[in-house]
Amino acid sequence: MSLRYALVGLLAEEAMSGYDLTKRFAVSLAHAWPAQHSQIYPELARLMELGWICQTGSGPRGRKVYAATAEGLTALRDWLTHTDADRTLRHEPILRAFFRWTLDPGEAANQFRADAAAYAATLRELDNLARTLDWESSPPDRSARLALEAGLRLYRVLSEWAAWAADRVDAHAATQPAAGERPDVSASRRRTRQ
Amino acid sequence: MSLRYALVGLLAEEAMSGYDLTKRFAVSLAHAWPAQHSQIYPELARLMELGWICQTGSGPRGRKVYAATAEGLTALRDWLTHTDADRTLRHEPILRAFFRWTLDPGEAANQFRADAAAYAATLRELDNLARTLDWESSPPDRSARLALEAGLRLYRVLSEWAAWAADRVDAHAATQPAAGERPDVSASRRRTRQ
DNA sequence: CTATACATGTAACAAGTTACATGATTAA
DNA sequence: TTAATCATGTAACTTGTTACATGTATAG
């Protein structure tokens, strides 16, 4: 349901088209709730049926401009106040980290450093985005700035974490007798509880 | 595909059943890649067909114990080294933060504080889990500790972020003339680009 | 004229969640 | 004996991704 409310929320701030919304999801919302146009257009149709949004204009190339209705805004507020937030974190790079013991330490460290670099790049991107937002402007902009701050802090720690993990792997490898190329997988595989 | 490789990875470390795997996903992997038993059992069947795992034993109540095969381990390593990681972050509480300008500031601040408390609770949970893992034990445990550290750091910043955001909302509300109960939504809604 | 950006949609598939469904073993 | 835990599975549905498909307006 999150996408549905996100669309209403954006349209409550400012009337715009599906194309505009898609761009919003590709920039400011990219690090909170990414969505493609193929998901957005059908959802807009459903929101029209629900009466949570309405078409307020049109433009060249079949452009349709939508705005949130009072009902839509009520539904959004109801979602925010009367439903539990899903605080799940699902992040593939962390999953990958669990299994890097199957690689030789040099490769594992390289991968952590690649993660660190990628996170740092995203952080710079978000930082530029944050600079375009004013702290003391409109309520929507103030909220956006608070949300953006989460992304800023998250990517900063992810970057630090990955760099730290790379160093740890290197440090441990240095203490090892540099035996085979890879850790002895079969030894741990023999551990079994039937 | 992540689930598939996660299962092979866990079974490369230690032979176990679908039930055991489900518990692993509910504890150590819960904050990296959550998965339910309804997703795990069918995937195990597919992994058997692929030859990436094999059944190595059985137990009471139809218990089936699986282990990763050499092919499975090769596939896992190939995934880790030859495919791009998906570094997407999708987190509902951040999305919600974007739209809290539609609520009165008191309610918005309360919600941020509830977020902070929930994150802090998860952090304590993860901290207990981390204490059960040794830094210098087996390679799999060392990897798990590195991965867990990401969760630790992420939940710490999320908790700090939410508390900070709550304070910010309060601080801003204090400077406001306490006019109506809610921000003037209609004013910003009038902003429109056709 | 020609490439790029604008603009909207659909279809097929993959992944994930919730609910349904069943039964065996064990500990109190 | 009875509740909890162990243990495996399926079905229906929702959500999200990738690819397909089409056409218009604008800037160089």
> What percent of chain B has a predicted confidence (pLDDT) above 90?
87
Residue burial A146-165, b: 16+ Cβ < 10 Å; e: rest: bbbbbbbbbbbbbbebbbbb
Local confidence band at B181 (pLDDT 50, 70, 90 cut-offs): low
Q: Measured between CA atoms, how close is B50 to chain A, in angstroms?
A: 19
Query: Coil, strand, or helix at residue B15?
Result: strand
Can you tell me the distance from the alpha carbon of B119 to that of B125, in angstroms, rounded to the nearest whole number?
10
Residues of A with Cβ-Cβ distance to B138 under 8 angstroms: 101, 188
Q: What is the pLDDT of residues B32-42, one digit of tens each?
A: 999 999 999 99
Residue of B nearest to A183 (CA): B139
Structure tokens belonging to residue A9? 């929320």
- Looking at residue A115, what is its pLDDT? 98
Backbone dihedral angles phi then psi of residue B58, each to the nearest 5 degrees: -150, 170
- Looking at residue A193, what is its pLDDT? 44
- Looking at residue A84, what is its pLDDT? 95
CA–C1' gap, A35 and C28, in angstroms: 52
Which site among B74, B81, B98 would you substitute to test the A interface, given the most A Cβ atoms closer than 10 Å to its Cβ? B98
Q: What is the pLDDT of residues B68-91, one digit of tens each?
A: 999 999 999 999 999 999 999 999
Average pLDDT over residues A170-192: 64
Q: What is the pLDDT of residues A92-139, one digit of tens each?
A: 999 999 999 999 999 999 999 999 999 999 999 999 999 988 777 899
Contact check, Cβ <8 Å, A100/B86: no
**Does residue B127 have a pLDDT over 90?**
yes
Q: What is the pLDDT of residues B23-34, one digit of tens each?
A: 999 999 999 999
Look at the block and give the residue holding tokens 């990296």: B32
- Looking at residue B189, what is its pLDDT? 46
Arithmetic mean of pLDDT over chain B: 92
Residues of B with Cβ-Cβ distance to A153 under 8 angstroms: 157-158, 160-161
